[in-house]
Amino acid sequence: MLSVIDFIHTSRDRYISELKHYLAIPSISALPEHAGDVRRCAEWTGEEMRRVGLENVRLVETPGNPIVYGEWLQAPGAPTILFYGHYDVQPVDPLDLWESPPFDATVRDGEIYARGAADDKGQVFMHFKAIEAHLRQAGRLPVNIKVLIEGEEEVGSKNLDNFVRANKALLASDVVVISDSAMFDHGVPSICYSLRGLAYFQIDLRGTKSDLHSGVFGGAVANPAMVLAQMLAQMKDKGGRIKIPGFYEDVRPLSEVERAAWRTLPFNEKKYRKDLGAPKLAGEKEFSVLERVWGRPTFEVNGILAGFTGDGAKTVIPAVAMAKVSMRLVPNQHPDKIAELFEAYVRKVAPKTVELKVTRMHGGKPWITEYDNPFVQAAGRAIEQGFGKTPVFCREGGSIPVVSTFQEELGVPAVLFGVGLPDENAHAPNERLDLSNFHNGVVASAILYEEIRKIG
């Protein structure tokens, strides 16, 4: 193990120059014009997997973006890890807010800035380097490992569930390992034991066949922008509670034990508010901030489009209005059931003066695991050695749709140890990854494989 860790320490600069190549590929899954880049990124991922010594590396075609698979299975009798991550990234707009180009990775003050640095290429790359260190120094890994890197996570992992269901034997393993989340805070490494789910929709309203002069027709027809605002205003009450009938039916209440554990975490509400630049925090008063973002479902308007928004003034009644809305879900809510409840409620609150269309976009199930399982404990020991600090256990408010599918279809626990930071701007301009967390993460990953071997 010592020579493996030495190897990691002496490879620091090389890691960064290699990672820059990975981060240079604009693998934006949401934008069709980047389909070629997405494929190129899948190929780069596969080549890198071969370079670090994985075997049987291949691109698996799906109706969407390719899945990259590779393995090293020469540790008979040892446990098998299924490592999952994603090579696709979010769009980069607004581009003018980036301090350096999103696909020209730049190191400033110990952080590497680029789209995908934290979410998730940097964290995938960290495991590639841990695998490489073992194979180069010891000629073998302490465990068997199957690596599955997909290219559609940021658009809801549409094709991955089917792939997992159809390839249970290929993916058979003892534990799923994922690094696609953040540490609790600077200097506070963590293990995540629950993710929220997601249900995402587009609402389209049409009032008339064309835009209208607001003086000539105003008063006689509905204004879809106004109707949309009124409909959206009926989704939540003043206390932040979602008004969709039945919405909370399956919400698993937070236990007093869990709430008490969260109260011991080093969380400063005032600093949190200030860092966000929010005049005042919002949400359900009976729940703390961590409870609101980790353990409670939400309803959000992600975007609204209607009418005249240019400079100056235009007297017009828009013909159409559109909103993108989504709900974060918690155990044991199900996105399909929530979709039905939501659509029924939208129909109910839509007046007859407009035509309504509701489109289901992507979704994902929430996930939770018991964290007293031996794999989670092994991850705790690995992080402790890699970061020199005992990790805290926390939930996350974000979603990784496939995690609950792994749990249900493969019947194995998942270990989420992420080394991003909550303020590293995932999905936003100036995304970055702290290089000392990356580096400690390579060490912790290498140790994790060894700790998992010890479980036997």
Does residue 18 have an active-site annotation? no
Task: Decide whether 413 or 420 has the Cβ nearer to ligand BES.
Answer: 420
Q: Which residue's structure tokens are 């291949």?
A: 58
**Spatial separation of the C-alpha atoms in residues 71 and 297, rounded to whole Å:** 37
Task: Decide whether 142 or 418 has the Cβ nearer to Mn ion.
Answer: 418
State yes or no: residue 395 binds ligand BES (CB under 6 A): no
| List 88, 111, 150, 161, catalytic entry | 88
Task: Decide whether 90 or 173 has the Cβ nearer to ligand BES.
Answer: 90
Residues facing 434 on adjacent strands: 111
Q: Which of residues 152-181 bind ligand BES (CB under 6 A)?
A: 153-154, 156, 180-181
Stretch that binds Mn ion, among 29-37, 172-180, 336-344, 384-392 (CB under 5 A): 172-180
| List 153, 396, 424, 431, catalytic entry | 153
State yes or no: residue 391 binds ligand BES (CB under 6 A): no
Does residue 153 have an active-site annotation? yes
What residues contact residue 109 under an 8 Å CB cut-off, 6+ apart?
none
State yes or no: residue 198 binds ligand BES (CB under 6 A): yes
Q: Which of residues 21-50 bind Mn ion (CB under 5 A)?
A: none
132 binds, among Mn ion, ligand BES, none (CB under 5 to 8 A by kind): none
Stretch that binds Mn ion, among 34-42, 112-120, 186-194, 197-205 (CB under 5 A): 112-120
Stretch that binds ligand BES, among 151-159, 291-299, 305-313, 345-353 (CB under 6 A): 151-159
Buried b (16+ CB within 10 A) or exposed e, 53-84: bbeebebeebebbbbbbbbbeebeebbbbbbb
State yes or no: residue 119 binds Mn ion (CB under 5 A): yes
State yes or no: residue 119 binds ligand BES (CB under 6 A): yes
User: Number of residues in contact with ligand BES, rule: CB under 6 A?
Assistant: 17
Residue from 364, 366, 386, 391 touching ligand BES (CB under 6 A): that is 364
Residue from 396, 434, 450, 451 touching ligand BES (CB under 6 A): that is 396
Helices in 307-434 by DSSP H: which ranges? 335-349, 374-387, 402-405
Q: Are 132 and 53 in contact (CB under 8 A)?
A: yes
Residues facing 195 on adjacent strands: 367
State yes or no: residue 88 binds ligand BES (CB under 6 A): no
DSSP 291: I
DSSP 34: G
Q: Are 333 and 366 in contact (CB under 8 A)?
A: yes
List the beta strands (DSSP E) in 26-88. 55-60, 67-72, 80-86
Task: Decide whether 38 or 133 has the Cβ nearer to Mn ion.
Answer: 38
Q: What is the largest CA-CA distance in the chain?
A: 81
Cα distances (angstroms) measured from residue 417 to each of 182, 187, 344, 445 = 8, 14, 38, 9
Using CB atoms, what's the residue nearest to ligand BES? 398
Q: How far is the CB of 197 from ligand BES (least distance, A)?
A: 9
Q: How far is the CB of 401 from ligand BES (least distance, A)?
A: 5
The SS3 call for residue 18 is: helix
Cα distances (angstroms) measured from residue 71 to each of 80, 167, 436 = 10, 14, 28
Task: Decide whether 8 or 394 has the Cβ nearer to ligand BES.
Answer: 394
Looking at the annotation, which residues are catalytic? 88, 153
Summarize as ranges the residues that interact with Mn ion (CB under 5 A): 119-120, 180
